Amino acid sequence: MRIYLDNAATTPLDPEVFEAMKPFMLEDFGNPSSTHAHGRTVRAAIESARKKIAELLNCTPGEIIFTSGGTEADNTILTGGIISYSVQNIITSPIEHHAVEETLNHLSKKKHIHLHKVNLDKHGNVDLQHLDQLLHKHPSALVSLMHANNEIGNLLDIEAVSELCSHHKAYFHSDTVQTVGHYPHNLKKIKVHGIAAAAHKFHGPKGIGFMFIRKDKKIQSFIHGGPQERSMRGGTENVYGIIGLAKALEIAYRDLDKHKPYILGLKSRMIEKLKQNIPGVTFHGNSADLDKSLYTVLNVCLPESDQNSMLLFNLDLHGISASGGSACSSGATAGSHVLSALYPDSKKGAVRFSFSKYNTETEIDVAVEKLRECLSV
Ligand SMILES: Cc1ncc(COP(=O)(O)O)c(C=O)c1O
């Protein structure tokens, strides 16, 4: 039996989503920019997908812009925000996803912008008092803080941060790639200017996502070309991706009340089983705190051992797909900038298990048993 516990990297496509996409792969192939009937049918489907997403997130359809995924959405919001608002100071954290971290490093070097890192507590939580101090010193900064960390699962109090940013007139971007489709987002209430989402994190297709850009904080485009996406993103739309994205988001929110407690149950089961079976096990960040972390992510901290360096490789041989923190470090426990920032001297092992509605209690039990075998404990 092969067990997939790497759902923060990507999730399997929901068959209901695939069914919704199929007609747009085969019959409805027109270019949405064409004015003839073939094009108009597809245009109508895209606009109804946009409307559906806007309804689910409580914003207006014009504030939703389709992208190729989370990375492009983050790049566009950050680059556009910095140029459009002549940003001189950026406030961010040391544990952002590379889509944000690398973009900000690049932009700050190129445009001589000052990058300020907000303090984190020992579990990786943003120090809101320090954020307030930084904003006092640098009002009108651009703040980029992720809603949930993809490696350790820590949740940010996005509402509190949005209030602080609004008070200091800062531009606020939040990478919400791990929370869209998993937590409700009321964008009328949360004073965020830009968020990013990727469909493949909630059982939609890969290569499609969207950004929300608040209508009173418009930014310049990033990909230049045709007038698609209200001239915010040139290029023929990924039609079946967009249809699949909207369907996946609709299903995610339709079934949230059922799936959230189920997945949370799997996570708490794993925490208990690990505590019973792996001596000395602890958990990175907030990930064992069920209220303060993603219910989909558990980052396990293992006592120092010779087995740790080959652990993910061995788990894979034992039929378990998990990761070392982020997808890019699969096969090795080294390489997580998040864990290095929080635990600089640690020689402990790390495995990130991440769950979805398709996982079962049996899979959790088998995964813990296989981990125990790999560690020879
Ligand atoms: C928090 C976060 N931001 C951004 C991304 C990038 O998304 P994509 O791979 O769709 O570009 C990911 C995906 O791993 C993520 O977890």
- Find the helix or strand (DSSP H, E) in which 320 lies: strand 320-321
Q: Which pLDDT does position 1 carry in this prediction?
A: 82
SS3 32: coil
Q: How far is the CA of 70 from the centre of ligand 1 (A)?
A: 5
Task: Count Cα neighbours of 342 within 13 Å in the Cβ-side half-sphere.
Answer: 27
Q: Where are the alpha helices (DSSP H) in the chain?
A: 15-26, 37-57, 70-84, 98-111, 128-137, 158-167, 228-231, 239-254, 256-277, 311-317, 337-342, 361-375
Rg (CA), the chain: 21
Distance from residue 211's CA to the centre of ligand 1 (Å):
12
In this structure, the chain runs to a length of: 377
The pair of structure tokens assigned to 171 is 């531009």
Nearest residue (by CA) to ligand 1, atom 13, is: 9
Give the residue-averaged pLDDT of 218-224: 93
Q: Would you state the structure tokens that stand for residue 307, as one six-digit string?
A: 């087995």
Q: How many CB atoms lie within 10 A of CB 340?
A: 15
Name the token pair of 299.
């980052």
In the residue annotation, 328 being an active-site residue is answered as: yes
The Cα 348–Cα 13 span in angstroms is 34
Q: Does residue 23 have a pLDDT over 60?
A: yes
Mean pLDDT of the residues in the chain:
95
| Share above pLDDT 70 across residues of the chain, in percent, rounded to a whole number | 97
Confidence at residue 139, expressed as pLDDT on a 0 to 100 scale: 87
Q: Which of 53-62, 229-238, 288-297, 333-342 has the lowest mean pLDDT?
A: 333-342
What's at 252, amino acid-wise? A
Q: Is the pLDDT of residue 328 over 50?
A: no
What pLDDT band is residue 112 in, cutting at 50, 70 and 90?
A: confident
Pocket of ligand 1 (CB under 6 A): 69-71, 97, 99, 146, 150, 175, 177-178, 198, 209, 327
Asked if 146 contacts 294 with a C-beta cutoff of 8 angstroms, the reply is: no
For residue 338, the CA-to-ligand 1 centroid distance in Å is 14
DSSP states of 204-262: S-TT-EEEEE-TTS----SB-SSSHHHHTB-S---HHHHHHHHHHHHHHHHSHHHHHHH
Q: What's the confidence (pLDDT) of residue 330?
A: 45
Q: How far apart are CA 196 and CA 325, in angstroms?
A: 20
Over residues 218-230, the mean pLDDT reads: 94
Mutate to test the pocket of ligand 1, among 74, 78, 177, 206 (most ligand atoms within 8 A of CB): 177
The residue behind tokens 């995610």 is 252
Counting ligand 1 atoms within 8 A of each CB, the residue from 71, 299, 328, 354 with the most, and so the one to mutate, is 71
